[in-house]
Structure 1
Amino acid sequence: MKRWGETPYEAHLPPETVLNQMEMAVVVCDRFSNVIYGNAFARQLFGFGGDELIGHSVLSLGIAEEDHEQATELAKHVLKGGVWEGTFCNLRADGSTVYTRAHAVPLRHPSGAVDGIVIFAREALRSNQREQDRYGLLERIGERLAGSLELESTLRRVADTLVPQFADHCFIDLFSGDRLFRRVSRHAGGWTPPPGTWAEVGEAVSYPPGHFSAKAMARRDAVLVEDMLQHRFAAPTEPSQRLGDAMGVTSVISAPLLVRGELLGVMSLALSNLTKRVDPHYDGFDRDLLGAIASRVALSVDNALLFEEERETALAFQKHLLPADSPPRLDGLQIAWRYEPARPLESHGHGIQTQVGGDWYDVIPLSAGRVGLVIGDVEGRGARAAAVMGQLRAALRAFAQDDKPPADILRKLDEWVRTMTRPERMRSGWNSDDLVRPPLVSCTYFVYDAWSRVLEFANAGHDPPLLVQDGVVSELEFGSEGVMLGVRGPGMGGEILFTEESAELKPGTTLVLYTDGLVDRRPREDGAYYSREQAREMVRSAVAAVSRQGVEAIANAAYDAVPGDVNDDVAIVVIRTAPEELAVTERSYPAEPIMVSEARRLASDAFASWGMAEERAELACLLVSEVVTNVVLHAATTPAPRRELVLDGGGPGQFGGDPFDEDDWGLTTDLAEQLGRREPRSKEFRLRLRRGADAVWVEVFDTDMRLPRIRSAGETDEGGRGLYLVDQLASRWGARPTSDGKAVWFEIPLD
């Protein structure tokens, strides 16, 4: 007894023989969508003979021009491992038309890689030409609309499907408010109506009461005019009437676009002498068919309008949450940025692939002319991602004012992100399944000091920026990639560590910061996608080519480097360090009262050399005395434990304050007595003065880690007003921790 698979050798048939006996077309294409095989039935179905199409594009099978886009999307989808099924319109060599039902699957190598495409096809309906048109049209309209959520694309797909297969002219008018506007005017053979005749796209349309389009909207039903020669309708204008007569319009169908009882507009199709048809007239079946098509179009238009409204809301939300269009003017830096929201990319049968994302960036002025820079990306799409992005930007701006190192700022931001996790249902014994997972966020935070040229940074899972020095493009090295913010949830334990790193940037160094939309999923012409490394290399090459140009040119070159549409938002920030050195003066002093006058003298000389107005220079010197006096008075031989310190600024000879009042300063009696005896101290302070284009910054460094705060002084108090004066007279002031103590700073405008 023979078992399955034990066929005698004589019974084996070559694959070619088996495929040629199939009553179904089999076409095989390579990865570039070129035909490499077609069986006998394929040659019969598509109307070509021999092997003349071998090596040519699959479009050479006679696929109608309006279906070329669909065929391209098919190839892209299948080459990524998917399957596809749908209807094509094919034009045979003899001029006849056939609708084919196609099923496409990937052709895989034994290794599993996709080597090409196998297409199985059969005739959609064995009948006359008119019946074939009717059979395939509604199905193809549905397929075209299934993946469309962009209004213009939706309307274009409809018009491309209907003209010229079912109509010589297609008009779609939609309401905007209470007025009707033309959105589509498509004609066979690329013909265009003369100006001033039929309404152009974007123009308002007003139909007289007796017009067939007006009747269709009034009746909420499709209206058929089988023979225009027997029925005269009042045209919107006299020129449009004359053009219709000249074109020989023979038959018209007009159908309202209705969805959920709301009238969105009207769609009209017309036949004319523009093409030579055997029967240039519509019938009752065609009216019903267009009514069904109009229902689908109306639903798709409504979805597209809702999507565009949501997208516009998210875009407006994001635009107001991101920095202004023009970067701020900062000392020692040139800055350019560019943000481009992703356009909706559509794939046949797979719906929308992208919405507005959560890309974000910011430039934050810090103390003493230092600058904080951040770039990041929030997981997800739509208004929620934009909202989270806005909250992140606001939170980081607030945290950055603490002037802590970047790693500390990221740790604090990570904790803030994780607080967005919450139980969905308040109940006892909830577990991790009840949690709303916090968004994942990648970002890098930089702090740049233009006077020292030191860049400090910490990374949370974001791509490293490009580093351009002397025309050579590389990547800024991250010692650690870091973990994305929000990764660690409640109950997971452990501490997320972010590595503190620094680099010194040479004069004229350029950094290109970007989000992953710049290098992710860019389609190639063959339907495949560029890898991230290929895209990165393209960006590096483009930046290198314009590295000697301005920061705006570099930002534009980076954005345009990788061809193809993007399916994610792209944010780019380009910064360049100044080629010249910035003015700075600094000196260290022993923490002794006599040094207050020395510090003031240094400040006065520096302000004079910088051309500062005399009145402002005197004010700045006064505030220098106040801050330095406080440092001297609170100096100790060893650094005190970190705690808040009340500073009153009442130094020797300044506003009558008693510098040795232990109640004012919180000092022990012994220490007060030591200060009163003016015993020598080992502690030092450092005064640093910086000049920018618009302001002067004063910083006083010491090793006491206690940060100052303003204290309200009573009417009879002799001290407690020094820091209050700094707060009132300086444009900004603050204190920040340093690696070995603190820095108290204030800013005075030059003008």
Structure 2
Amino acid sequence: MEVANAATVVIGPGGTVLGWTRAAEELLGYPAAEVVGRPAAMLLTAPGDRVRAAAVARRCRTGAGWAGSATVRTRDGRHVEAQLRVSPPFSLDGRECFLVSAGEQQPSQAVSGSLLEGLLTRSPIGMAVMDTDLRYVWMNDTLERAGGVPREQRLGRRLSELLPGLDAERLEGLMREVRDTGTPVIDHEYTGWSWADPQRRHAYSTSFFPLVDDEDRVNGVCYLVMDVTDRWEARERLALITEASGRIGSTLNIDRTAQELADIAVPRLADFAAVDLLEPVLHGDEPAVQPVDTRPLMRRCGLRSVREGAPEAVDRLGERVGFLPPHRDSRYLVEGDAMLIPSLDPDEETWAHDYPERARTMREFGLHSLLVVPLRARGVVLGQAIFLRSRNPAPFVPDDLLLARELVDRAAVCVDNARRYSRERAAALALQRSLLPSQLTGGIALDVTSRYLPAQVREGGGGVGGDWYDVIPLSGARAALVVGDVVGHGVTAAVTMGRLRTAVRTLADMELPPEELLAHLDDWAIRVIEEEAGDQAAAATVLGATCLYAVYDPITRRCTMARAGHPPPAIVTPDGDVTFPELPAGPPLGLGGLPFEPADLELPEGSLIALYSDGLVESPDQDIDAGMARLGRVLARSGRSLDELCTAATESLGPGPPYDDVTLLLARTHALTAERVATFEFPPDPAEVAQARAKTGEQLARWGLGDLAMTAELLVSELVTNAIRYSSGPVRLRLIRQSVLTCEVADASSTSPRLRHPRTLDEGGRGLFLVAQLARRWGTRYVADGKIIWAELDVRQAPAGDHRATREALAA
């Protein structure tokens, strides 16, 4: 007979029905109102059965109980052969009662009382009857065995008085609810400890239903209880594995992943957990294959205990550790086999003699069971995970080992992913830093400093990006400032950044205005996108690049800027006023078809120019306006050096690595005074070339650069001669003294001279050739009213022999 289908009836004095369950109603069709309070004999079909019922009652009073079968009448008049089980009598409100369980005899079953044998005594389901005060009045043998409390100690007492290891108050609360409302509670699960098995937590499924008399009054509560520990533990293990899938490996940080493994294992699997990783793994390297008998050094990267501070840990977090001494076999770390020691004995020779400190810790904290599982991923052992129990009295069992392996295997894959990402990130970061300028110099025009911070490591990417900055010396003591940002992260972004920086430097050498430089850079980006159309990642990286290019002239104190989708700069005047000028935005590089427009600012000497990438002012929890306001407050602090301002600006982002790459370039402006600049204007007459040479010699003598006079006069002579010969209008000569001597000749022509290499018998074409040979560097740049040809000479004291060589060259 299936117990779940059994009907239960309480028979009181004189054979009166006192309790009638829903199962009884389903079996015979009588509702409780038609049966309770009436003689149970009305259900029997033959007088012989009624006589036998009296004999059964006498037998049950001896404490033996009875099992058998009888024919009973249903409400619709059918006769049903039922299997019956009658319990020994018990007292309910001072009345002698019997508990009768019944089930319909199936045609395929033998009509025998033996089929009901075990329902009350040998059934796997525990059964008990409680009175209205929730005291035990009857229980079967199964419940007695499961609870570990003898029947005579239970009867007349409450559940909370007998089994303190259970949540008795909660269970009694449910029984009161059933008693008071008459509504059954089905399949209520709970966990706890029992006297029958005090070393292991058990799980139980319990159902409660009321016992009702003929006046529909509840006279007690009956409950059925089943041990579902195996089912509960399997569900708990599955839940833990599911949770581990979401919690372990939340970042691409090796130490964080190791700590996540320790956190999820305590206290649900162990009371103490430690994760140790091999040293090469922490540096992103591939761990070498270890010989069987070696004990490689590791570092403790994860630690968790049910005791605050993990006092039972011999090796602390971050310390170097040797692997846990094996119980009998030292191959587990090499071959990847886990180790289970259900019962630790600190007095065993392996511990007491070779590792006395660990043995002492075992005794002090009651560490009694051990699991050691290697972290193994893709055929390589990365470290080990150690699990210990102390407060939990149950030893580890093979099922715990399976669970530990599952958790550790998941963590090992995440650790290996983090290790591989660390190695790739280190390579990308090295590439990124190698492509950024190692030294910055703004010449006499600017004092400059910079900061670059790679982004934090994130799942699916992050880390090294494509932000860059540069300071490019230009002719005429000017300097160019550039900041750019490439979408994406990793090696592809770093390589794209290097290509963009090289392109900007090449275009800057052509002396292009900022808006024209960005237009040429945009054309270059479009060509790259077309060439790499098959490589979607590379094309998207170039397409998402932004750039801001600024040129500062210390003579006019004017700064000309243009930007391609980049945040505007911050300008701080010497008195501390901070502004973010509204430059025409311009599209990001690679879109094409849209113009770039410049903005021209005149800056007082000592002004601060701040160029930055969006990672400094924007994050998921802060919009760009709030970030720019924060940056402005930091830069407004007067009296600080550029390095101090850079540090303060990056530290204002908060602790830890930023969400996105951060680039900051600060430049403080200087102005060239009249003492360092000399300007002369000559009419377009060839006779004025001699006057230009004379003015040049006089000015260099005043500057104390007489040793450069011969070479400078030759350069000026050639440049002025070309300007007068090939253009109309006045010719302007400007000499600029800085770390180099710059000679500039401006005219109204837009035709650029071309350097030729004349043959031996050619009578002309040697002017610019001589300029190129004598100058440090030379070039041409276009201005609104024409062009400027310039040449630079190193400012140094030249030996007398050099002048003779120059004269000889001129004579030749």
TM-score interval, smaller chain:
0.5 to 0.7
Q: Structure 1's 239 and 327: CA in aligned 2 closer, same or farther, altered over 3 A?
A: farther
Report the Cα distance in structure 2 between the residues aligned to 1:448 and 1:457, rounded to whole angstroms.
Answer: 9
Report the Cα distance in structure 2 between the residues aligned to 1:371 and 1:98, rounded to whole angstroms.
Answer: 78
Per-residue CA deviations over 1:708-738 (Å, capped at 9, x if unaligned) read 2221121222332222222122111111122
One of 279, 284, 294 as aligned partner of 2:408: 294
**Cα drift, residue 534 of structure 1:** 1.9
**Cα drift, residue 390 of structure 1:** 0.9
Please tell me the residue identity of whatever aligns with 1:541: R
Q: Say if 2:645 is the partner of 1:557.
A: no
One of 707, 712, 731 as aligned partner of 1:620: 712
Please tell me the residue identity of whatever aligns with 1:536: M
**Cα drift, residue 252 of structure 1:** 1.6
In the other structure, the counterpart of 2:330 is 214
Q: Structure 1's 340 and 710: CA in aligned 2 closer, same or farther, altered over 3 A?
A: same
Please tell me the residue identity of whatever aligns with 1:730: A
Q: Say if 2:802 is the partner of 1:710.
A: no
One of 199, 211, 225 as aligned partner of 2:341: 225
CA contact (8 A) 2:470 2:482 kept: yes
Q: Structure 1's 98 and 438: CA in aligned 2 closer, same or farther, altered over 3 A?
A: farther
In the other structure, the counterpart of 1:18 is none
Report the Cα distance in structure 1 between the residues aligned to 2:352 and 2:515, rounded to whole angstroms.
Answer: 72
**Cα drift, residue 180 of structure 1:** 3.9
CA contact (8 A) 1:163 1:186 kept: no
SS of corresponding position for 1:547: coil
TM-score by length of 2: 0.63
Per-residue CA deviations over 1:293-344 (Å, capped at 9, x if unaligned) read 11111111111111112211211111111111x4225112111111111112
CA contact (8 A) 2:300 2:321 kept: no
**Cα drift, residue 587 of structure 1:** 1.2
Please tell me the residue identity of whatever aligns with 1:474: V
Per-residue CA deviations over 1:528-566 (Å, capped at 9, x if unaligned) read x2222222222212222x133222222222223344763
Q: How does 1:319-468 map to 2 (within 5 A)?
A: 319-324=433-438, 326-345=439-458, 351-352=459-460, 354-422=462-530, 438-468=542-572
Report the Cα distance in structure 1 between the residues aligned to 2:202 and 2:441, rounded to whole angstroms.
Answer: 62
**Cα drift, residue 741 of structure 1:** 1.7
Per-residue CA deviations over 1:659-678 (Å, capped at 9, x if unaligned) read xxxxxxxxxxxxxxxxxxxx
In the other structure, the counterpart of 1:521 is 619
In the other structure, the counterpart of 2:588 is 484
In the other structure, the counterpart of 1:266 is 384
In the other structure, the counterpart of 1:725 is 770
CA contact (8 A) 1:362 1:373 kept: yes
Please tell me the residue identity of whatever aligns with 1:592: D
Please tell me the residue identity of whatever aligns with 2:787: K
Q: Structure 1's 283 and 194: CA in aligned 2 closer, same or farther, altered over 3 A?
A: closer
One of 358, 366, 374 as aligned partner of 1:256: 374
**Cα drift, residue 356 of structure 1:** 2.0
Report the Cα distance in structure 1 between the residues aligned to 2:672 and 2:327, rounded to whole angstroms.
Answer: 74
**Cα drift, residue 170 of structure 1:** 1.1
Report the Cα distance in structure 1 between the residues aligned to 2:754 and 2:353, rounded to whole angstroms.
Answer: 76
In the other structure, the counterpart of 1:685 is 731
SS of corresponding position for 1:548: coil
In the other structure, the counterpart of 1:142 is 245
In the other structure, the counterpart of 2:785 is 740
SS of corresponding position for 2:745: strand
Q: Structure 1's 198 and 474: CA in aligned 2 closer, same or farther, altered over 3 A?
A: closer
Report the Cα distance in structure 2 between the residues aligned to 1:311 and 1:621, rounded to whole angstroms.
Answer: 55
Report the Cα distance in structure 2 between the residues aligned to 1:129 and 1:231, rounded to whole angstroms.
Answer: 35
Report the Cα distance in structure 2 between the residues aligned to 1:561 and 1:235, rounded to whole angstroms.
Answer: 54
Report the Cα distance in structure 1 between the residues aligned to 2:686 and 2:572, rounded to whole angstroms.
Answer: 48
Please tell me the residue identity of whatever aligns with 1:689: L
Report the Cα distance in structure 2 between the residues aligned to 1:226 and 1:625, rounded to whole angstroms.
Answer: 97
Query: In terms of mean alpha carbon deviation, does 125-134 or 140-149 score higher?
Result: 125-134
In the other structure, the counterpart of 1:536 is 628
Query: In terms of mean alpha carbon deviation, does 711-720 or 302-311 score higher?
Result: 711-720
Q: Structure 1's 213 and 168: CA in aligned 2 closer, same or farther, altered over 3 A?
A: farther
CA contact (8 A) 1:336 1:552 kept: yes
SS of corresponding position for 1:420: helix
Please tell me the residue identity of whatever aligns with 1:687: L
CA contact (8 A) 1:222 1:290 kept: no
Report the Cα distance in structure 1 between the residues aligned to 2:742 and 2:525, rounded to whole angstroms.
Answer: 34
Report the Cα distance in structure 2 between the residues aligned to 1:738 and 1:576, rounded to whole angstroms.
Answer: 25
Report the Cα distance in structure 1 between the residues aligned to 2:680 and 2:581, rounded to whole angstroms.
Answer: 34
CA contact (8 A) 2:300 2:318 kept: yes
Per-residue CA deviations over 1:250-277 (Å, capped at 9, x if unaligned) read 22211122222222222222235xxxx1
CA contact (8 A) 2:469 2:484 kept: yes
Please tell me the residue identity of whatever aligns with 1:506: P
Per-residue CA deviations over 1:591-635 (Å, capped at 9, x if unaligned) read 2222222222222222222232x3333322222222222223334
Q: Structure 1's 218 and 561: CA in aligned 2 closer, same or farther, altered over 3 A?
A: closer
In the other structure, the counterpart of 2:693 is 600
Report the Cα distance in structure 2 between the residues aligned to 1:726 and 1:211, rounded to whole angstroms.
Answer: 84
CA contact (8 A) 1:378 1:440 kept: yes
Per-residue CA deviations over 1:681-731 (Å, capped at 9, x if unaligned) read xx2111011111x21111111112111222112122233222222212211
Q: Structure 1's 353 and 425: CA in aligned 2 closer, same or farther, altered over 3 A?
A: closer
Q: Structure 1's 263 and 563: CA in aligned 2 closer, same or farther, altered over 3 A?
A: closer
Report the Cα distance in structure 1 between the residues aligned to 2:794 and 2:312, rounded to whole angstroms.
Answer: 64
Q: Structure 1's 509 and 720: CA in aligned 2 closer, same or farther, altered over 3 A?
A: same
SS of corresponding position for 1:296: helix
SS of corresponding position for 1:448: strand
One of 280, 284, 287 as aligned partner of 2:398: 284
SS of corresponding position for 2:276: strand
Equivalenced residues, count? 553
Q: Structure 1's 541 and 305: CA in aligned 2 closer, same or farther, altered over 3 A?
A: same
**Cα drift, residue 207 of structure 1:** 6.5
CA contact (8 A) 1:332 1:578 kept: yes
Query: RMSD value over aligned CA atoms?
Result: 3.3
Q: Structure 1's 311 and 258: CA in aligned 2 closer, same or farther, altered over 3 A?
A: same
In the other structure, the counterpart of 1:652 is none
One of 149, 152, 166 as aligned partner of 2:255: 152
Please tell me the residue identity of whatever aligns with 2:241: L
Report the Cα distance in structure 2 between the residues aligned to 1:442 and 1:221, rounded to whole angstroms.
Answer: 53
One of 422, 425, 433 as aligned partner of 1:311: 425
One of 590, 597, 610 as aligned partner of 1:512: 610
Q: Structure 1's 514 and 423: CA in aligned 2 closer, same or farther, altered over 3 A?
A: closer
**Cα drift, residue 412 of structure 1:** 0.3
In the other structure, the counterpart of 2:47 is none
SS of corresponding position for 1:367: coil
Unaligned runs of 5+ in 1: 1-43, 48-96, 100-124, 346-350, 427-431, 489-494, 523-528, 638-682
Q: Structure 1's 187 and 482: CA in aligned 2 closer, same or farther, altered over 3 A?
A: closer
Please tell me the residue identity of whatever aligns with 2:736: R
Report the Cα distance in structure 2 between the residues aligned to 1:742 and 1:425, rounded to whole angstroms.
Answer: 39
Per-residue CA deviations over 1:389-439 (Å, capped at 9, x if unaligned) read 11100011101111011111010000000112237789xxxxx9x997852
**Cα drift, residue 368 of structure 1:** 2.1
Q: Structure 1's 201 and 236: CA in aligned 2 closer, same or farther, altered over 3 A?
A: farther
CA contact (8 A) 1:171 1:184 kept: yes
In the other structure, the counterpart of 2:181 is none
Q: Structure 1's 340 and 238: CA in aligned 2 closer, same or farther, altered over 3 A?
A: same
Report the Cα distance in structure 2 between the residues aligned to 1:355 and 1:212, rounded to whole angstroms.
Answer: 44
CA contact (8 A) 1:213 1:266 kept: no
Q: Structure 1's 278 and 412: CA in aligned 2 closer, same or farther, altered over 3 A?
A: closer
Please tell me the residue identity of whatever aligns with 1:517: G
Question: Percent identical across equivalent pairs?
Answer: 32
Q: Structure 1's 709 and 425: CA in aligned 2 closer, same or farther, altered over 3 A?
A: closer
SS of corresponding position for 1:380: coil
SS of corresponding position for 2:427: helix
